[in-house]
Amino acid sequence: MSTPDTTAPNRQPVTPAAPAALAAPDGPAPAPGRWAALGPVGLVLAGGVSVQFGGALAVALMPRAGALGVVALRLLVAAVVLLVVCRPRLRGYSRADWGTVVVFGVTMSAMNGLFYQSVDRIPLGTAVTLEVLGPLALSVLVSRRALNLVWAGLALAGVFLLGGGVRDLDPLGAAFALAAGAMWAAYIVFSGRTGRRFPQADGLALAMAVGALLFLPLGVAESGAKLLDPVTLGLGAAVAVLSSVLPYTLELLALRRMPAATFAIMMSLDPALAATAGFLVLDQALSAVEAAAIALVVAASMGAVRTRAGRVKTAVPEA
C-alpha cells in the first residue's frame, strides 16, 4: 500500500499497508537488533514484502475461515500483541481524544474488511493497484500542484488498462478495492490525528482493539466455530504478524533513519510487490497489459509523492 506524505510524517500504514508505523512518529524506536543491519531501504522492502505475502496467505486462508473471519483473526491477534507490547494507559484523555481513536479504529476495520472482500474476488496485485488510488488521490488533493494532474492521468490510464486487460474482473471486487482505497485515505488522516493525541504507539494499539471488537462479531457470524480450529488460528496469527506486527516494527526502524518522502515513495512499490506475492503464493499470473497498468499506477504514486516532497522543501526558506 503506497502512502503519501500527508501528515508529519504519517503512514499507517500507515500499508495497507499497511499500513500504522507512522501513527506514532514521536515514539521511541524499537531496539534495532539484527534487523537494523538491513539498512533503512532493506527494512522498508522487508516490511513491504511481509505485508503483501501476509495478504497472499490471508487469501489462501479464506476458504477455511471466510474473508470476514480472516479479518477478525488478523485484527484480534494484532490488537493483543500491540496491547501487550505498548501497554497503553487509559486515563487522562479527553472525550475528543477517545472520539479520534474510535474513528481511527472504525476506519481501520473498514479498510481491512473491504480490502479482504476485494481479494476474495479479484487477484491480489489488481486489488492493491486499485486500492492505492485512495492515498494517491489524497496526495494529489493535498499538494494542489498542476504537475499532479500528470500523475492523476497516469493513474487513470493504469486503471483503464487494468479494466480492459482483465475481461473477467469482478466488478464487485473492484468496487470493494476502490472503497478500501477511500478508507485508506481516511486512515492516513486519522492515523496522524491519533498520533498527535496519544504518545508512542498507544493510539494505534487502542484503535486496533476498537477495530477488533467491531469486527469480531462479523467474523463469528460468518465462520463461527471454524475460527477456533487450531490450524485456522495459527494461520490467522501468521497473517496478523506478517501483515501488521512485523511490518509496523520494521517501518518504525526505517523511519528513524530515512526521510518520510523517501519512505512514502518506496511504499508506492506495494502494487508490484502484491502482484509478485500473488504470483508466487497464489499462482495469479499477470498479463503484459496488467503489468503495464500496475507500472503506471506505481509511477503515478512515486511522482505524486516526489512532487509533494519538492513542494515542502521549496516552502521552507533557507537559514
Position 12 scores a pLDDT of 36
Position 168 scores a pLDDT of 63
Radius of gyration of the chain (CA): 18
CA 256 – CA 44 distance, rounded (Å)? 12
CA 61 – CA 68 distance, rounded (Å)? 11
Task: Name which of 171, 125, 55 is nearest 290 in CA terms.
Answer: 125
Other CB atoms within 10 A of residue 168 CB: 5
Position 260 scores a pLDDT of 60
219 alpha carbon, distance to own chain's centre: 20
pLDDT (tens place) for every residue of the chain, 319 residues total:
433 333 333 333 333 333 333 333 333 344 445 545 557 778 878 888 888 899 889 989 999 889 999 999 999 999 999 899 889 988 888 999 999 999 999 998 999 999 999 999 888 888 888 887 777 777 667 666 667 667 677 777 776 666 555 556 788 998 999 899 899 888 878 877 888 888 877 888 899 999 999 999 999 998 888 888 899 999 999 999 898 888 877 776 776 676 665 666 666 677 777 888 888 888 887 777 777 777 877 777 677 666 655 554 444 333 3
DSSP, res 242: I
Listed in sequence order, the residues at least 6 apart from 273 whose beta carbon sits closer than 8 Å to its beta carbon are 48, 49, 51, 52
| Tally: H helices and E strands in the chain | 12, 0
Position 40 scores a pLDDT of 73
Task: Name which of 263, 242, 266 is nearest 56 in CA terms.
Answer: 242
Q: How far is CA 38 from CA 32, 177, 253, 260, in A?
A: 10, 32, 10, 18
8 Å CB contact between 40 and 247 = no
CA 184 – CA 12 distance, rounded (Å)? 8
> What is the residue type of 144?
R
Position 270 scores a pLDDT of 75
8 Å CB contact between 167 and 145 = no
Q: What is the three-class DSSP state of 86?
A: helix
Other CB atoms within 10 A of residue 90 CB: 8
Four-residue CA torsion sign, 279, 283, 288, 290: negative
Quick one: the chain helix, strand, coil %, rounded to 5? 80, 0, 20
